[in-house]
Every structure is written in C-alpha cells, then in structure tokens.
Chains A and B, each alone.
Chain A
Amino acid sequence: MNLMLATVVGVLYATGVYLVLRRSIVKLILGIGLLGNATNLLIFTIGDVSRAAPPIISDGDKTIAGEFANPIPQALILTAIVIGMAMLAYAVVLIKQAYQITHSDDIDVMKTTDVEA
C-alpha cells in the first residue's frame, strides 16, 4: 500500500512540476493544484497507512492498547486541503482576469511590469 502511494505521490509531483514549467497559465494553475495534492498525499502516506483501530481511548483508560491509526496527518491534511482550495480558487479568478486583460494564455506575454516602459 505504502509503495503504491509513494509511486502516486512521485507521479503527481512529476506531472505538477512539468505543468508548472509550461508557459500556459491554465496549465500552470493545474500544475499547482497537482503539487498541492501530491503534498497532501505525501503527508497521508507518512502517517503510515494501516488497518488499525481508530485512536479512541475507552472510558477509564489513560492510553490506547494495541495498534491504532495515527490521526494527526489527517488533521493536518484536512487543514491543508481547505487552505489549498481557497488559494486555488483565488488563482483561477486571477488568471481569468489576466486573460481578459491580456487576451493571452502565455505567461511570456505578461511582462509589462518587468521591462522599462
């Protein structure tokens, strides 16, 4: 299971990086989305995916007996997913604005702020 997830994370990172390096801003945004998902999956995999009991301490006990699933990575990912979604939503609106202004999908066209007028 871990090996499969690790492969998926690797493929997602590779695809994400490839897309981020494209000149088209739409592909760029898709790439950033993939990078974010790769990262979330990475944290998920690090939490050691296993078929263990839920991490609930029964009444009267102070610790959990036996194997249990680590809840922290999931809490981290949940936060990261929500933030990532908000960021991506903003980025999508921004590139739509950029397209309306420049009439182009090409990041190389958008350099009026980088060259002397």
Chain B
Amino acid sequence: MIVISPILIPFVTAIVCIIFWGLPKVQRWISLLGSATALVFTLALFNQVNAVGIQTLAVGGWTAPFGIVLVADLLGSIMTIVTAFMGLMVAIYSLDDISDVLEENGYHSLFQFMLAGVSGSFLTGDLFNLFVWFEIMLISSFVMLSMTGGRAPIEGGVKYVIMNLISSSVFLAATGLVFGISGTVNMADLGNRLPEIAAENPVVVTSIAMLYVVSFGMKAALFPMFGWLPASYHTPPTAITTIFGALLTKVGVYALIRVFSLIFSAPEIISLAQIVLLVLAALTMVTGVFGAVAQYDFRRLLSFHIISQIGYLILGLGIFTVDSIAGTIYFMVHVILAKSALFLVSGIVEKMTGTYDLKKLGGFYNNNMALSMLFFIPAMALAGIPPLSGFWAKFAIVKAGLEAQQYAYVAVGLFVSVWTLYSMTKIWTYVFMRKRPEALQGNVTELESASFWIRWAPTIAIGVLTVVMGIWAGPLYDVATAAADQIMDPSIYITAVLGGS
C-alpha cells in the first residue's frame, strides 16, 4: 500500500483544501502538513525499495498486464522523494510569496494536485496511465501559471498551454500506435514484447520511438522545442516558478529514460535513438547556455539554464551505459536542488528590491553577506566547482562519455560548463559585487522577521543539500548506481511486475 502513498497523500490534501475553500489560512496548515507527511512516506517507500526490491501495486486488484499497475523502483522512489521534498520547501516559501488573492483562488489545492500528478508519473507502470498523470500535472500547472492575471502570465500561458497540448496529442498518438502493434500498454509487458516486434519491423517501432522523443522532448524543453519555457517560466510568482523549474521538465526526462531503457531498448532502435538524443542534447546544452548569457532578467537567465541542464541529462541518457545513467540520475537530483535554491534567492532579492532586472540591482555583497553566500554556493554547484554536487554529477557523465568514446559530445558538455560558470558570474557581478546604480541606492526593504524565516529556511535547507551531495558523494552515488543497474536491466522490472516467468 505504501507504493500509492506519494500519490494519495497530495491528492487527499488537495481535496481537503477544497473543503476548506473559504479559509485560506487553514489551507496553509493542511498544505504544510500534507507535504511533510508525503515526505515521510516517500522516504519510507525508498527504504523499502532499497531493502526488499521493486514494489508494485495492482490498482483495484486487476493484476498486470490487464489492470493499471504502480511500480516503485529505485529511480521512481528517488524521484518521489525529491518531489515531496521540493513540495514541502516550496509550500513553506509560498506562505510569504503567494498573495492572498491566489490563496483564495485555490492555490494550495492546485499545488497539491500538481504534486500528485508528478508523483503519479514517476510511479505508474502503464503508458496510458502515464498520459493521465501528465494531464493532471499539466492542467494544474496551466492554472497556476496564469492565475496571477495580467499581460505577461497570460501571454506566457498561451505558449505554454499550446505547446503542451500538442505534445500531449503526440504522446497519445504514439501510445495508441504502441497499443496497435503490441496489444498492450503495460510497460513491463511492452518490455517483453517489443524487442521481438522491433526485430521483425524496425521501421515502425523506430518511428514510434521518435514520436516519444518529440512528445517528451517538448515537455522536457529539448532543443528545437523549448520556446515555451523561457516565454512562461519567469512570469508567475517565484514559488510557482521554482516548483515548475524543479519538477515539470524533469518528468519529461524521466519518461524518456523509462521508455528507452524499458520499452525501446532493442539494439535496432536504441542505436539510432542514441544518435538523435546525443545530437539533441548537444544542441540543447549550447543554445540553452548562450540564451542564458544574453539575459538581463534574473529569472529568465535561470530559465534558460534549465534548458541547458536538460541537455546534460539527455547527454547521459544518450550515452546509454550504466555509468552514464547513474550520472544522469545524480545530475537530475543535483540540478533540481541547485536550480531551486537559485530561484528562491531570486525571489528574496525581488522581495527586497522590487525588481528582477540585473541592471537595476547591485551591492548585495557589501550589505548582505549571508544572502550572497546563499546564492554563491548553489551557483558554484550548478557550474560544477568541486567539492559541490555539480562537480560529481558532471564528472560522472563526462567519465561515462569518455569510456563510451563519445569524445565530441563530452567536449561540448565541458565547453558549456565554462559558459555556465560565466553566466553565474554575470549574476554574481551584477546583483552582488558591483555597486548599485546611483539613482537606486538605498532602495532596499529589509524583510520582516516572519517573512525572513519563511523565505530563508527553505533556501538554506536546499543550499545545504547541494553541499551534502558534494561531500557525501560516495554513498549517494552508490545509490544512483544501484538505480541505474535496475534501469539498464529491464528484466528486473519486468519480473517484478509480471511475476517470475
């Protein structure tokens, strides 16, 4: 039963929030309580998966492959922990960042529904059910993105909604075609059947695999399909930007890892898919980071960085060895934490100065050393400076790439890494080191004690974790390797779901 808890707890929390519709202050506590409970249960789930092996639950008692089955393997349970943790952190941050109007319009229940959708995507073992969880996640995010109203959120929302609806259409069509050629949508069953079908008819199966690349690539903001992300992510309040930036694109990456390791792992398909993924990864990294370098808006700069980092994740998937997948998993957790910490800092800066515009900021290093460090550590982690988390994440992917002799792509990754550092120094110089423009000096409001701690506590917690992931990289990386071992040997997953046949 514990398998379903990461989905059920946010879901119930959201419904209870709706019951207390007229009382936003009560909803705050319910949301916090629900998020904390979810974190405890996801940790328990991970513990069980780590000790006993893959956990499954046949929903409604309909056994696989006939009914929907929930599957928690190491990767899935790691991702639900990250989801629940980020949920709790952002739920705390929201107490100060989200206006009363949004709370009265059901922010808390939307937030929890979105978490349920994200966790559902990580745990489902059924392709069509994955589509349903995607849609639950998307419709909540649509509303959260545009609920602020005003020109920017609505315009950003139009692009976000349209691109994601097209992506869902492609996903659904691909799933329909998979059902057409195999007669099943259960992932484990597909893992059994598709290699045979692929050997007989590689063209059809490869085409379907490419449809998935397009669909999940749009959601993950891969190279030609990322336009919606920098158009929309910087428009809502920072708490919403943070949770979007942390989780939504990563669901797309997770789905790519899952379908290519489990369903389309036949050599006929993966050899072509690897080339496509590697090329897309390289282009994503480069365009993302150059887009970021050109920006003068704190959050827009970070939004372009999300795209660039997605490139690294797909690079790890494209190399497709146990080591590279382990690196991708480690990188995914690292980038969620580091990027979120930076977004939360941008929110603190905005609250104090009233602007995200780098040209209108400055002087924080002299006046607020603590905040500067709060930015500096995750920024250096993101750039990959040892001993922080990003160094080990990039090291693992680079090492795996060199072993797999993908020298050109590794070179691109390292090249982009330098530019990541450059764009972080850009924020560092503009916001922290240099003096603020004369006209704006002194125009800083210090936070009141309550809102100070609400904003600082989650930011510090996430920042500390990026350091922890750097210092205790050994044991944590072993977990990522164990998860990658499971991913790269589909028979473990298939046996756990369908029984020992």
Contact = CB atoms under 8 A, between A and B. Distances in A.
Interface of A: 20, 25, 28, 32, 35-36, 38-39, 42-43, 46-47, 72-73, 76, 79-80, 83, 86-88, 90-91, 94-95, 97-98, 101-102, 107, 110-114, 116-117
Dominant SS among interface residues on chain B: helix
Contact of B166 (A35, A72, A111): A35
21 contacts: A20-B166, A25-B158, A35-B169, A36-B165, A36-B169, A38-B173, A39-B173, A46-B179, A76-B175, A83-B135, A86-B139, A87-B139, A88-B165, A94-B142, A97-B154, A101-B154, A110-B158, A113-B155, A113-B156, A113-B234, A116-B295
B168 interface: yes
A111 B176 contact: no
B177 interface: yes
Nearest to A36: B169
A32 B295 CA distance: 32
B142 A95 contact: no
B234 A42 contact: no
Dominant SS among interface residues on chain A: helix
Q: Which 10 A-B pairs have the closest CB atoms?
A: A46-B180, A43-B176, A110-B155, A35-B169, A39-B173, A113-B156, A83-B135, A39-B172, A32-B165, A113-B231
A39 B176 contact: yes
A80 B128 CA distance: 9
A88 to B, nearest CB: 8
A86 B161 CA distance: 12
B157 A94 contact: yes
A92 to B, nearest CB: 10
A95 B154 CA distance: 8
A20 to B, nearest CB: 7
B231 A114 contact: yes
Interface residues on B, range: 35 or more
B486 interface: no
Contacts of B44: none
A98 B166 CA distance: 19
B244 interface: no
B395 to A, nearest CB: 35
Given A94-B157, A97-B149, 7 more contacts: A32-B162, A35-B166, A43-B176, A73-B179, A76-B176, A94-B154, A114-B230
A13 B156 CA distance: 26
B152 interface: yes
Contacts of B135: 83, 87
B155 A112 contact: yes
A90 B158 contact: no
A91 B155 contact: no
A117 to B, nearest CB: 8
